[in-house]
Amino acid sequence: MPTIYGILESALYVTDLEKSSQFYRKLFGFELIDSSQRLCAMGVAAGQILLLFKRGASSDHDGAGRLHLAFSVPASDLDNWERFLSENGIAIENRKNWDYGGRSIYFRDPDQHLLELATPGTWRSVW
* Whether residues 122 and 84 fall in one domain: yes
Share of the chain above pLDDT 90, in %: 85
Give the residue among 111, 96, 114, 116 at the shortest CA–CA distance from 17.
Answer: 111
* Tally of structural domains, the chain: 2
Same domain, 49 and 71: no
Could you report the per-residue pLDDT of 86-115, keeping only the tens digit for each?
A: 999 999 999 999 999 999 999 999 999 999
Q: What is the mean pLDDT of residues 33-39?
A: 95
Which residues constitute the domain of residue 36? 7-55
Q: Give the CATH number of the domain where residue 83 resides.
A: 3.10.180.10
Per-residue pLDDT, 58:
87
CATH of the domain at 31: 3.30.720.120
Together in a domain, 85 and 126:
yes
DSSP codes of every residue in 27-68: HH-PEEEEE-SSEEEEEEETTEEEEEEETT--SS----S--E
* Whether 39 and 72 share a structural domain: no
